[in-house]
Amino acid sequence: MVLQLKDVTKRYRDFVAVNRLNFTIEKGEIFGLIGQNGAGKTTTFRMILDLQDTTEGTITWDGQPIKSVSRDFLGYLPEERGIFPQMKVEEQLYFFGELHGMDKNELKKDIDFWIERFDLEEKRHVKAETLSKGNKQKVQLIASFIHKPAFLILDEPFSGLDPVNMELLKNAILYLRDQGMTILFSSHQMDNVEELCDHLCLLKRGESLFSGSLLDLKKQYGKTKLTVRTDKSFEELSKYPGVNHVKLERDSQAVLTLEDESYAPEIFELLSNGNYIEKFSLDYLSLHEIFKEKVGAGLV
């Protein structure tokens, strides 16, 4: 089963929110949809969810128009969270599972599993309004997939989470993928996208700047990030051949951005002068750095 968007456009009178968007998500894949606020991510989610019609183009699931597929195949965690404040945690999860036609006895095993996995055992019988933000988010995440959908959309699932809860959620997403679930998610935290996704689509003002594998995106820039440990000054490093930018960090570490990787051997010779170098590492730019380059600095 795959999700496919082909030439999808959403227009509101004279404003084009999404323009001729194309991408395919394979079964059991985690796919990232990234872009700054207003790029068209939520509009795209709403069209996939059939909450809004496309102006042009088609969205299909396993070759069938998305409108004709039972809603039970789909799970959704919206960016704007919404669980019932007066309802107890366990009751919430039974409620959302039964909405999708699941039997209460069938749900019990999975609810017990996820409550334990997300460290919510002591919160099982408390009202949702008493939970911390992180625990509310965990409950709503469980509610989005407790019916075992084939396809799951997560809109900013890591927003506002502390590192411990963020790691719990990441591990849960990887677990769901390993169980065969297909996952589409958005995040402004590029390190999470880089860690979880093999493929992604980068949006800017409703248009795709790139769609494909993360490695292919990085290869567009080449290995231009050189990290070294040296006592050379900013001025000295800036004068080396092929160096576009120098950033000095702690512990005598410097990050050099090169025009291309062909300059690295010459810089190595200049830095080492035949001696040992503690650190000399050439790598691709991070997704965070590429995002700033493509979309604009300061928007992550």
Looking at the domain assignment, is residue 203 inside a domain? yes
Q: What is the pLDDT of residues 60-114, one digit of tens each?
A: 999 999 989 888 899 999 987 778 999 999 999 999 999 998 999 989 999 999 9
Looking at the domain assignment, is residue 292 inside a domain? no
- The span from the CA of 260 to the CA of 263, in Å, is 6
pLDDT band for position 198 (cuts 50, 70, 90)? confident
Looking at the domain assignment, is residue 296 inside a domain? no
Both 147 and 133 in one domain: the answer is: yes
> By C-alpha distance, which of 180, 181, 205, 202 is closest to 193?
202
> What are 36's two structure tokens?
């700054």
Domain residues for 257? 223-283
- The span from the CA of 264 to the CA of 157, in Å, is 39
Q: What is the pLDDT of residues 35-54, one digit of tens each?
A: 998 899 999 999 999 999 99
The tally of domains found in the chain comes to 2
Both 194 and 245 in one domain: the answer is: no
Q: What is the CATH number of the domain that holds 276?
A: 3.30.70
Q: Which of 193, 218, 243 is the last residue of a domain?
A: 218
15 and 182 in contact (C-beta within 8 Å)? no
Both 143 and 251 in one domain: the answer is: no
Both 212 and 263 in one domain: the answer is: no
Looking at the domain assignment, is residue 165 inside a domain? yes
pTM (predicted TM-score):
0.89
Looking at the domain assignment, is residue 73 inside a domain? yes
- Looking at residue 1, what is its pLDDT? 61
- Looking at residue 70, what is its pLDDT? 86
Q: What is the CATH number of the domain that holds 166?
A: 3.40.50.300
Cα angle value 60/62/65 (rounded, 5°): 30
